[in-house]
Structures are given as C-alpha cells and as structure tokens.
Structure 1
Amino acid sequence: MRAFIDELRRRNVLKVGIAYLVAAWLVLQLADVVFPAMRLPGWSTSLVLGILIVGFPLALVLSWVFDVTPRGIKRTPGDPAAEVPAGENAGTIAKIPSVAVLPFVDMSPDHDSEYFADGLTEELLGVLSRAGGMRVASRTSSFAFKGKNADIEEVSAKLNVAHIVEGSVRKSGNLLRITGQLIEAATDSHLWSSTYDRELDDIFAIQDEIATQIASALQVQLAPRQLERPLTEDVRAYDFCLRGNSYLRNLGMKNTGRAIEMYEKATQIDPAYGRAWAGIAIANATLALLFMVDGEDRTAAIEAAHQAAKKASELDPECAITHLANGMTLNADGRPDEAEIEFAMAIEYDPQMHEAHYQYARAAYMQGRMKKAAALFEKAIEADPADYGSSLLLSSVYRSLGQSDKQEETIRRGVALVEKHLEKHPNDARALALGAAAVQIAGNSEKAELWAERAIAIDPDNESTLYNIACTYSLAGKLDRAMDLIERCIHSTSWIKRDSDLDPLRELPRFKAFMKSLE
C-alpha cells in the first residue's frame, strides 16, 4: 500500500486531486452566486456539479499518465526504482555482447591532455551504453584500471566482459592522433583497430567512427539517434566543457567553482551549447546541496542553476544530462517531488546513468522515504558496481530501516571498494571521510579515526568532509568532537534530521539547541 501511495505522490496524482477539489469548490461557489443573477435555470448549478464530478476521475487518470514540464506535457516515465524480478536478466547478460572501454592514455608531448583523453573515453561509453543489445561496464569500473598495466584477461575477469576497448590520444596544437582497438579477451585477438591522424576539428567525426566500428564488430546496430549528441560545433567550447567535467568530478568547493568557470567559458564561445549550460546548472546545484550555507550565496547559486537549467532545456530538451541538471536544481531548491520527475526522465533517456539513480535516491532519502531510497541506491550500484559512495549511503538507509543483515553486507562491500579506491588515490579526502564512518560501524575504531584525521588534514575546509567525519565520531561515542564538527559544517536540517549516524547525538541539549537554531 505504501508503494502505491509513493507512486501516486511521484506522479503528482494527490496534488492534482486536491487542487481539483479546491478549484471545483470555488467554481460551485461562483455558480451559486452568478447563475441566479444571470437568471439561468435552477438545474444549471446541478449540471456544473455533474460535470465536475465526471471530470474528477478523468483529471486523476490524466495526472497519472502525463506530467506538465518546462518543455510541455510529457508522458510520466516509469519508476526506475521498481524491482526487477530475480533472474530476469540472468540469461540475457550471457547472450548479449559485453564490453569495457578502458581510459584512453594521454600520449601528448607535455602530458597535459588527460582531461581530453578521459572525455573521449566517456563519449564512447555514453554512445555504446545507450545502444540496445550490448552490456557496457560502468565508467567507475573501467576507470579503476586507469594508469595500471593490467592484462586483458584480468580486466575481462574483473569487469565480467568479453571484449575490451583501449586506445591513446596524442594532442599537439591543432593536430590529433587517436588510436583505438577492440580486443576479444578469450582469444586476445583484435576484432578492430585503427589510427586517426586528423585535425582537432574532426574530433566529433572520429568519435562517431570509433563507436560505429566497435558496434559493427560486435554485430550491434547503432541508430542515428544514438550518435546524435548535443555537442557544439566549436572545438574550443568542447575543450572547456571537458575541463569542466574533470573539475566537477573531483568535487570539493574549489573544484566545483573551477568547473563553473570552465562551463561558462564554453557558453561564451558557443551560447547554444546545451551540455555546457547543463554543467553550469549541475555545478551550482552541487554547491548549494553540499557546500553552501543558507543565505545570499546559496540563493544566488540556486538561481544561477535555475537559469542555466532552463537554457539547457530550451537547447537540448531530450537529453538525459539536461533532466539531471533540472532534477538537481529542483532538489537544491527544496522541491524534491518535482526533482523526482526529472530524475526519472533522465533515467528513461539513459537507463545506465549512475548519477541520475544516485541523485534520485538522495532526493527520496531527504524526504524520509527510506524504502524508495534503498531501491534507488541499489539501482545506482547496479549501474556502477565500483561506486563506493552508493554502497556506504545505502548501509545508512538499511540501518534506518532496521535491516541489519543488509546493512552489514553493504558496509563490507562499501569498505572494500573504498580500500581499493585508496590504493590508487590515497589522498582522496571524500573516500577517507565516507569510509571512516563505515569502518567505525564495522568495529575498527582505530582505523576509523586514522582515516578521519587524514581526511581533515587533506581537506580541512570541505564541509562535506567535516560532516562525514562528524558521523564517524558520533558513532564512536566522541560526542563533543562530533558536535564541534557539526556546528562548523551544517546549515540546514534536510539531511541531518534523518541520518541515523547522528542518533547518538539527538538527546544532547547541545544538539537540540543546534537543531532549533536551524529552524
């Protein structure tokens, strides 16, 4: 029953029903006053009442099927959190081609084009993952092998794929050399390989050619729609957008600010570049959600996100990233019901978009809809099994639901992923801070405090880092230390009021006074 009510809520049926009843009451009041003055027959009011009664279920049905969006009336997307029956995909995965696209290596003379090589890799991942009849390893899973000399057999086994794409990029001025090859892991044989010596302006054509050749070798047909990306025709704008993506991925307030600068430069060069506008919206929403206090700065960031998201919607209304930008902006603005519609539409356009599942799950969590959040975090993990963040946040959700077995399982999985990540990125403050709380729950207080203090030393002013460490100390029973950090980094109750990591603090007079100050 709760699931049905959640679905009514997601589709705005309850809102429409209430609004209809209020409007109907006003119409009847108006008719009761106006009709006698107009000397209309006595049955006129009864007729209006009958029409309103007939219209009520019709309005509910229409609100179930359709949504009114900034781009007009759209069919409501299905619920991506709906459970897939066990074993449904078991046979399918074995029968369809599977591939991982490893990060292309930057072979430029100055080794200053890593962001460009990563961008090319991500474009190929995006095109191939949208193709039907092909399973593509997630970005996080593939990028875990970046900079490593793992052999093809090892990559194939760890990512559970039969084919590997690898390549390199050499960028020098306006000249570009890209090599790529598709390898069948079982036989270590090349199914396709090619080298492209072109000018930088040809990058978009090269990307399409590589994707088409890979799909052809795997006997998968790419529809023209899958190759139509909302890209600029100006390579300089594209280059700045890739730089923005690189900064945004590294998170942190400074990096997010730098990402906005890069995206804005891209839009200055090409004002019709929808993806860059979406980047501005996502980055500003990220600032508002994670790093900013309630006040003028946060209000300005949300307003900037709204303006950029609106522009992106005008330019690329059927792009998954556009809907992600709209969803994150609405969520930052305290409108999670509307945000959910946008996240669901992003997933409809790109079912493998991990970030859309992840942000959708966060929106459900912030509303206290823990079962929904759990299902969506599971979907996020399914889209990107190497993402430690989703597993660690999911463990908190399961704790709130009282499902200790699942909590322990997700903590083990999350901590293992964090440790693997830290082998390659030992100074990643976010991984250390998120992992510390999980390690504390697992019972290793010494290691948890070591990770927590390392995270603070690396990034002492990052409010997201401070919050996660506060959770660690709360779980460890070091309540004064936890409160010191909470008071430094928390400026709203949207997340803190439901985070079970902070339960040990809730009866403290200091915590209660702090919560009251936020109201």
Structure 2
Amino acid sequence: MAGRFLSELKRRNVIRVGGVYLVTAWALFGIARTIFEVLSFPKWSSQLLLVLLALGLPIAVIIAWAFERAPEGGVRRTEAPPEDAPPLTFRWFDGALLAAIGGVLVITVLQATGVFAGGARVPLLPSEEKSVAVLPFASFSTRPEMEFFADGLTEEVINSLAKVEDLKVAGRTSAFYFKGKNEDLREIGKKLGVAHVVEGSVRHDGDRLRVTAQLIKVSDGFHLWSETFDRDMSDAFVIQTEIAEAVAEALKAELKAGDRPTRASRRNPEAYELELTSRAQLRHLGLAQLTAAHEGFKRLIELEPNNPEGYAGLAQASALLVQHHLQGDFTPTIREAEAAIAKALELDPKSASAYIARGWVNRMKFIRASCQSCEGVATAAFKRAADLEPRNPEALSLYGADISVARPAEAITYLRRALAIDPLDKIAQTYLAEALAATGDFAAAERQFRTAAELFPDFIDTKQNLAGFLIVQGKLDEAEPWLRAAAQPGTDPSADLQLAHLYLNLGLRQDMATTVGRLKSSPVAAEVANAVILITEARYQELLARSHKLLAEPEPDPIWHAIGFSAAALAEDWEFAREQLLIIHPELFEPEPQVSPSAANEVVAAAFVIAQLGDKGQSRRILEEVLRVTEPSPGRWQAHARRIARMKAFAMLGDNERALAELRAAIDAGYRTLYDMDIFLRLDAYPMLAPLRSDPRFQAMIREIEADVAKKREALLARRRGTPPAQVASRAAA
C-alpha cells in the first residue's frame, strides 16, 4: 500500500514539484530578506513573506496531485492509473528529496514557534527607528585606569540619551556585554532591538582629551554622524552632552523642551574623571575594583563636597566590600555608609543612586545582623529608586531581585521591564529565573537559569542561584559543579560557604573541610570558618567561649550575636541566649511579635529558648505568628526552609501529625539537605524536635533522605572517577 502511494507521488510529479518549489522559495526568501534589510523594511515584512511562501508549498503540492499537463498542452484532472499498471520505481533520490521537503517544513515550523533554538538565545527585540545603543568607547591611553574613564564616559552618554522621551536607548549592561567582542553590528542591533549604535574612542594625553564618536545605522553600516572632540580635560563633562544632543538630532527625535539633555557646565577635571572611573569600577563588583572605587569616591567628596553621587557611591562601595568580601569591620562601616546616604539625600532628595545604596545597606543589615525591620526598609528603598527613575534598568532589576521570592509575580513584571530596556542585564536575567521558580514554574526557571549562565559565564550569582535551584529539587550532585565554579575565583566567601554546606550534606567531610579551610580572605571569614567546624563537630562549649570573647570587643561584628545565640542554645546557656535575642530580635518580646518569613527558622529557635526561660505564652504567640506568615499561598512555591520552620513550630506546639506532614511534603518536593545553611546543624539534632525522634515515621523519612543522598554522592564520585553515566545509572537502580 505504502509502495503504491509513493509510486503515485512520483507519477503525478508531486515530489518534483515540491522540490522545485522549495528551492525557488528558499532562494526568493534569501534575496528578499537582504533587500528588506537594506531598505530598512520592518521585521514583520520578512516574517509575512516566510508565512506566504510556507503556505504556498501545500497549495503547489495539492495542485500537482490533482492536475497534470495533457499531451495537447492543456491542464486536466489527473486520472487514476489502471489496476494492472506496474508501479513506478521509487529511487533513493526520490526518497531523499521527499525527506528534505519534510525536514525543511518541520525545522521551519519549530523555528517559527520558538521550540527549536540552539545555545543561549537572547530574545530578538523589535527595533524602532528612533532607537540606539551606545557601545563601550575604546581607550587608546597608556594609563590603565583610563579604560574605566572611557567606560564611565560611555555610561554618561547613555544616561544623557535616556532622558530623551521619544528615544529608545539600550541599557548599559547590554551595551557593555559586547565590549571586546568583534560582533557584527546587525547582530548587535537585533539582540538589543535597536536600529542604530554609537561607537567611539577616548585618548587622553596630559591635559588634552580627544573623543571620537560616530552614529551608525546597523542595517547597512551607514554613518549618519561622526565628530572628533579635541578639548582640555576640563571640558570632558561638556562632551557627553554634546554627543547626546548630536545623536538625538541625527535621529530627529521629537524633543520636548524638558527632554533635551541639559547643557553641562565645566567641572573640576579631576573630579569628573574620578566620578566616571569610580562608578565604572563599582559596576565590576570585584574586590580590587571595589577597593579602588571606594578610594575614588572618598577623593571625589574631597574635591566636590556637594556632589551627591560621591556620597551614594561611597556608601554602596563600602557596603559591598564589608558584606560580599568581608573586608573591614561591619558596624562602623555600615554606620559611615548610612551617614553618607543621609548626606546624599540631603543634597538631592530625589537621588536614585542614594536610594539604591540605602537598599543595599539595609539588605545587608538584614542578612548579617538579623535586622528584621531592615528587610522592609531595603525593599522600600529599591522601590523608591525605581519610581524615581522608571527607565533606569538597574533600579528596576534591583527591586525585582529584592522581591523575587516574596512577591514573584510583581518581581517578574519589574524584571521584564528592566530587560525590555536592558536585555543583557545579568541581574535581571538571573533573578527572573528566581522569580519564575518562586511561582512554581520550574521548567521555565531552569531554561532561564541556563540561558543566563551561558550568557554570563563569569557572573558568580548566576552559578550560585542555579546551584541552589538544583539543590531544592534534590539534585545535589548536579549542583556541585556550578558551586565549585562559583567558588573557584576565591572572591566571594558566600560561594565557599554554600559549597561547604553542599559537601556536608553529601557526606563528603574532607571536601567540606578543604573548602572551609579556604575561607581566610579576612579575619571575619576565618572566624566564620572556625565556627562551622566547631558546630559540625558538636563542640558547642568551645564555640560559646569563642563567641563570648569576640562579643566582648568594642564593636563586635553583628554576625556573632547570631552565632553566639545558636551556641548558647545548643550549650543550654539560656540566659546568654536571651541576651543575644534582645539584641538581634527585640521585636519578639513584644505582646504582638513581628516575624519575617525569611527568618522563620531563626525565630522558631528563639521561641524554643523563650519557652526554656519559662515564658511559654510568648513562645506560643511567636510560633503561631510563624505559622501565619509561612502559610502557603496560591501562585507561590513553598520553600523547603518554610516547611521545615512549620514542622518545628508544629512539633513545639505538640501537633506531631502536622509536623510530620510538613516534612513529608518537603521530601516529596525535593528536600534533601538534612544539614541547614543557617548554622550547619543536622535536622534531627535540633532540640525542639526531640518529641519526634522516637517516632518510626520520622526515622523512616530521615533514612529515606539519607538513602537518596547516598545515590547522589555515588553519582558525583563516579563522575570524578570517569565512570560512564549509564553504568552509574544501573548501579543506582540496583
């Protein structure tokens, strides 16, 4: 039956007609697309032509099947062959041609629907005629720091152009993604959704500055405008505005009076160079760059004491150094940063930079000092920055990142707004994945995580967050390479801590000890590493003694109040634990205790201590508030940490059935980390879970986790030995 059908396809010339149509349409589309690009036709023109040509193929094939050319030259309906007619031979060439037709059709459909795409794909954005990206200006100076100056000048031109309401300007992060990459301008235009780019160079020689800039149409490479500025360094501040005005004029944007870039006045050339250079260094987030930025902003304040950007930059650089790199003493550093923010807002109450710095500082106080009220202050500050500058992708992405777990739906809106302006913003790309995961859409989250990881291979946060995403699904062995890559540069102590935590859960104690041993970048990091070792070895009295010593210092690091509380609770020194609680969680002693869902596990431990001190009524009120704020809600995935906090709370309230139900739900959702990240303590070692330890169901669930983790450990070790994946899988199944 199939052979006769194929023979009939050949007899009626269906295959030949399909092949000829396919080759002709393909060639026609290629020529038309080139012409459309040269003439700057809108993108939908090519898409419409492709759809029309694709629709024409089945029409041509149907006509070929139904009609044939008669001997006299006319067209007649094709007649069926006689029953005794021998079938035509269906040769390999006919089969290959038929397969090619089908293959092209399938690939075209998959590409059109977005199902088929290779590698990390940046969504191609529709380009508008009045749209531009400012690519990083090249530095032709011998001084290394002038590269940061060139970056800063580029950013200032972007900022000036962004003030033009009718002009779409690609964000800084996206533009700088192409720094040092010899990529075709047309591809850059497609990825950023812009029709034009500005390229330039900076040469600095003594007091003279030469800036060359040109505006290029990406579709054909035509230069719409170019100019060279030979000026004194004191005129550098003016050049950025002149470039922005010239670009806007060349694009004939409809400028309102208030939208035109403000004509800048002269500034102290050293101050202007410091501001641009320090801001560019601040963006890099590395230890060396942040240190240089910190010193640069201090010098800027000396030269221009009424410049709010200097104070805002100093505050942000200080906060990032003391938290991300554990450099310096936390309490005095944060106090100085807050004073700098206050000064910046005094000089300019609408400084988005100052509100961004306030957001960073309070987020870090929440993490490091367990300041629950600081969480809300941080969120409000990031929101204020986004409201002040709704076209500032940094403000939009930082606010979206801040609320990505607590309010994922709102976060997705802000992060996508940021990506519409700055499609290659690594923070927005990474935290969009976090927000998608928080809604429970794990498939979309994983695609987004992997896209971000491929786009930004050097961004540690993406690797850490992707690893965390895999860990919550129970894929501990798959998370290890990502965390190892994040920790490899040795620039972020949190990556080493997270990797050590993973090794501890995998039962790889030697790997954990080696990783913790690397935490010696600062005295704070070294002490934290020592605390981890003491807890995992159950040497609680030693840790308590160390806490007493460090907390006796004039301005102790606030992290030791939290560690001291945990050590005291484990060593059953209830009074000392209470002293630390009054410092880190005074709100828990109020008649109506306030609880942040992010700190639920820490608050449950506080409720346990308060109960041991005899105030069982207040302990109950705290536990009931924990259960209220961690209640699952529609549209948001329930994190394992919240389920574990609820399990502990139910156990303390005597409701073992609901406690076990929470643990069961967590295991079914991928919970495999018996040792928590808070204090590296194993779940069944928590004193408030004593009522559950003898329950066979609790013991069975613990064994279930251990058995699955053992498989993950073997899979990881087998990969290290080079064992084939199939062999690993068969062993795991056995």
Compute the TM-score of the two structures, normalised by the length of structure 1: 0.68
What residue in structure 2 maps to residue 420 of structure 1?
455
Q: CA deviation at 1:229?
A: 9.2
What residue in structure 2 maps to residue 259 of structure 1?
293
What residue in structure 1 maps to residue 169 of structure 2?
136
CA distance in structure 2 between the partners assigned to 1:234 and 1:310 by the alignment: 24
Instruction: Point out the more displaced range, 191-200 or 485-494.
Output: 485-494
Instruction: Point out the more displaced range, 376-385 or 133-142.
Output: 376-385
CA distance in structure 1 between the partners assigned to 2:141 and 2:240 by the alignment: 18
Say if 2:672 is the partner of 1:504: yes
Is the alpha carbon distance of 1:239 and 1:389 closer, same or farther for their aligned partners in structure 2, counting shifts above 3 Å?
same
CA distance in structure 2 between the partners assigned to 1:514 and 1:247 by the alignment: 45
2:330 aligns with one of 277, 294, 298:
298
Is the alpha carbon distance of 1:133 and 1:447 closer, same or farther for their aligned partners in structure 2, counting shifts above 3 Å?
same
What residue in structure 2 maps to residue 391 of structure 1?
429
Residues 396-431 of structure 1: CA distance to partner in whole angstroms, max 9, x if unpaired? 343343x23xx3223323322322333xx5xx5555
Q: CA deviation at 1:455?
A: 3.4
CA distance in structure 2 between the partners assigned to 1:128 and 1:468 by the alignment: 41
Secondary structure in 1 aligned to 2:672? helix
2:360 aligns with one of 325, 328, 336:
328
Superposition RMSD in Å? 3.9
Q: CA deviation at 1:183?
A: 1.0
Asked if the contact 1:389–1:434 (Cα under 8 Å) also holds between the matched residues in 2, the reply is: no
CA distance in structure 2 between the partners assigned to 1:231 and 1:332 by the alignment: 37
Residues 78-117 of structure 1: CA distance to partner in whole angstroms, max 9, x if unpaired? xxxxxxxxxxxxxx97656111111111112455511011
1:464 aligns with one of 487, 494, 505:
494
Is the alpha carbon distance of 1:347 and 1:457 closer, same or farther for their aligned partners in structure 2, counting shifts above 3 Å?
closer
What residue in structure 1 maps to residue 304 of structure 2?
270
CA distance in structure 2 between the partners assigned to 1:515 and 1:179 by the alignment: 65
Secondary structure in 2 aligned to 1:171? strand
Secondary structure in 2 aligned to 1:385? coil
Instruction: Point out the more displaced range, 190-199 or 248-257.
Output: 248-257
Say if 2:129 is the partner of 1:106: no
**Structure ranking higher on relative contact order (CA contacts 8 Å, 6+ apart):** 1
CA distance in structure 1 between the partners assigned to 2:685 and 2:271 by the alignment: 46
Secondary structure in 2 aligned to 1:156? helix
Q: CA deviation at 1:315?
A: 1.7
Secondary structure in 1 aligned to 2:403? helix
Instruction: For 1:269, give the aligned amino acid.
Output: L
Instruction: Point out the more displaced range, 327-336 or 122-131.
Output: 327-336
CA distance in structure 2 between the partners assigned to 1:355 and 1:514 by the alignment: 43
CA distance in structure 2 between the partners assigned to 1:515 and 1:197 by the alignment: 70
Is the alpha carbon distance of 1:385 and 1:472 closer, same or farther for their aligned partners in structure 2, counting shifts above 3 Å?
farther
Percent of paired sites with the same residue: 30
CA distance in structure 1 between the partners assigned to 2:313 and 2:512 by the alignment: 34
Residues 437-466 of structure 1: CA distance to partner in whole angstroms, max 9, x if unpaired? 56778999777534433433321x622333
In the TM superposition, what are the counterparts of 1:113-262 in structure 2 within 5 Å? 113-220=146-253, 221=255, 223=257, 227-228=261-262, 233-262=267-296
Asked if the contact 1:433–1:469 (Cα under 8 Å) also holds between the matched residues in 2, the reply is: no
Asked if the contact 2:426–2:452 (Cα under 8 Å) also holds between the matched residues in 1, the reply is: yes
Secondary structure in 2 aligned to 1:148? coil
1:355 aligns with one of 372, 376, 394:
394
Is the alpha carbon distance of 1:410 and 1:387 closer, same or farther for their aligned partners in structure 2, counting shifts above 3 Å?
farther
Asked if the contact 1:99–1:162 (Cα under 8 Å) also holds between the matched residues in 2, the reply is: yes
Q: Larger Cα Rg: Structure 1 or Structure 2? A: 2
What residue in structure 2 maps to residue 68 of structure 1?
none
What residue in structure 1 maps to residue 483 of structure 2?
452
Asked if the contact 2:400–2:415 (Cα under 8 Å) also holds between the matched residues in 1, the reply is: yes
Count of aligned positions:
413
Secondary structure in 2 aligned to 1:124? helix
Is the alpha carbon distance of 1:93 and 1:184 closer, same or farther for their aligned partners in structure 2, counting shifts above 3 Å?
same
Is the alpha carbon distance of 1:155 and 1:371 closer, same or farther for their aligned partners in structure 2, counting shifts above 3 Å?
closer
Instruction: Point out the more displaced range, 164-173 or 334-343.
Output: 334-343
Q: CA deviation at 1:472?
A: 6.5
Secondary structure in 1 aligned to 2:230? strand
Instruction: For 2:399, give the aligned amino acid.
Output: Y
Secondary structure in 1 aligned to 2:339? helix
Instruction: For 2:486, give the aligned amino acid.
Output: A
Unaligned runs of 5+ in 2: 1-124, 366-370, 520-527, 533-558, 563-583, 585-595, 602-637, 642-670, 688-734
Residues 145-182 of structure 1: CA distance to partner in whole angstroms, max 9, x if unpaired? 11122222221122221111111111112111111111
Unaligned runs of 5+ in 1: 1-91
CA distance in structure 2 between the partners assigned to 1:100 and 1:286 by the alignment: 29
Say if 2:379 is the partner of 1:344: no
Is the alpha carbon distance of 1:417 and 1:514 closer, same or farther for their aligned partners in structure 2, counting shifts above 3 Å?
farther
